[in-house]
Amino acid sequence: MFHFIALSVAVLMLFVARFYSPRHAARAGWAVAFLVPTWLALEVGAADITVRCVVALMAVAVVVVKPRQFAFVGFSWIDLLPLVIVVTAAISTTLNDHFSPTVILNLLAQWLFPYMLARLILIHDQDAIDFVPLAATLALILAGAMIVESVADYNVFNTLLGHEGSSQGDFGHRLGLKRAEAWFGHPIYGGLVLALAAPWVFTQTYQSYWGRGSKLWLIAPVILTMGTVATLSRGPCMVLAGVMFGLAWYYFPPIRLFSLFACVLVIAISIVMLPTMLKMADAIEAQDGIQKIKIDGETYTYSGTRHRYLLFAVYKKPLSQVGWIGYGNWGTLPQHEAMLEPHLRGLFLSVDNHYLLHYLNTGVIGSIAFLLLPIGIFAAFLRQRAKLTQPTEFLMVALLSSVLATTLVIITVWMSESYSFAFLFNAGCIVGLLISARRSPSIVARKARRLQTGQSRAISTTNQGTTF
């Protein structure tokens, strides 16, 4: 199955590149990668070669077909950060005696290829304009699949392809509903991919609202929300809420002071009511998963929710000895696993905190490189937003909100390749659009502009030739 799909993708992308353009080929490849199960892979040594990896490699290859149609408008220092993460992880893995070419390929597939694919697809504003309908349509297909799966209590994709679903999806029902995972192998991963695709759906809906698209798109956010909720996972719902909040905060200044006050209030209440909130979270989990465990001789209550903060106590010793480059990439039997107490190794094999795991894997250098990615993107947006035209600005704010919201949510989940692809793709799209804006001659007011109205569209000259 994998060989057939990989060969089909290669032929498709070469065909599109030959008769259209490399950017069209990259879009077609991205669409296939979005729809193909993430668990469908070919094991080569220590690496799992996925269809996404094939798409990224072919995206580079098709540039050779028509190189003159693929001139970049510029680069940013942010483009170096995914590469720094890969290099740091590769050095760490090598020094910890786990080096192999397939390990390096695995690192490239997770950290560099998705970002690179985005930079190849979006070079000018018009590329985003052309890409939005495709991305929004595929996001709705995923949302619809999740809604049906949750209600029908049946994953048709796993059945057709003979794949055993995750225990969370098959047996981890919540509120009487199945936790939908579609073709992503885990409810959280599928939900985060869908939430990270929300900017494309919202942008298409925004355009339709102002008469540049079918009015059927007006119900798309509802379908998207239902699909995200169908995962019954808190993380994806928080990212989706973060995208909505980011758009509202940017375009409606009166709510900013209120939102800041609300955030402080929520944080204060959370600190005071933490024990009660933990008990409420435990109540919706399977009771057989709650148990008493000992960490360094002390007794703790363990549950899926409490797993996240107990990690710091469990990994206390490895964390204190990480150093500049860490213990090597996860999945290569890193040394920090051997440092755990024997009775805790199975229970805490999953490090559901990306920052903690990334710090263990890549040390100080790799962690700084990762943190600089959202910080650098946010800073670049603040510098360049004055040059963004309205449709591009709306998409940019939504994409940025999705990235920033995810950087908060990954405190509670490790960054699997299943959704890191969408996260890094969004980051690459933002950088590409910011570089395009940097080279744009248009200068507009340096403040958040109101959403476009019918009257403003009629008199606007700033956005001519750049609307969807």
Provide the sign of the torsion angle of the four alpha carbons 242, 246, 248, 253, taken in this order.
positive
8 Å CB contact between 115 and 75: no
- What is the arithmetic mean of pLDDT over 125-142? 91
Q: 85-107: string of b/e by CB count within 10 Å (b at 16+)?
A: bbbbbbbbbbebebeeeebbbbb
Cα–Cα distance for residue pair 138/37, rounded to 1 Å: 14
Of all helices (H) and strands (E), which one includes residue 265?
helix 254-272
Confidence (pLDDT) at 450: 52
**What pLDDT, on a 0 to 100 scale, did the predictor assign at position 457?**
42
Q: Each residue of 402-428: pLDDT tens digit?
A: 999 999 999 988 888 889 999 999 999
Q: Which residues contact 167 (CB under 8 A, 6 or more apart)?
A: none
pLDDT score for 287: 54
In this predicted model, what pLDDT tens digit does every residue of 325-364 receive, in sequence order? Answer: 888 776 445 566 777 777 787 777 778 889 999 998 888 9
Convert 367-383 to b/e letters by CB count within 10 Å (16 or more is b): bbbbebbbebbeebbee
**Predicted TM-score (pTM) of this structure:** 0.86
pLDDT for 73? 72
> pLDDT tens-digit profile of 40-91?
888 776 667 888 888 888 888 888 777 777 767 788 899 999 999 999 988 8
| Token couple for 61 | 């290859």
**Which phi and psi angles does 90 have, rounded to 5°?**
-65, -45
Whether 316 has a pLDDT exceeding 50, the answer reads yes
Domain boundaries, given as residue ranges, for the chain: 2-269+355-459
Query: Is the pLDDT score of 461 beyond 60?
Result: no
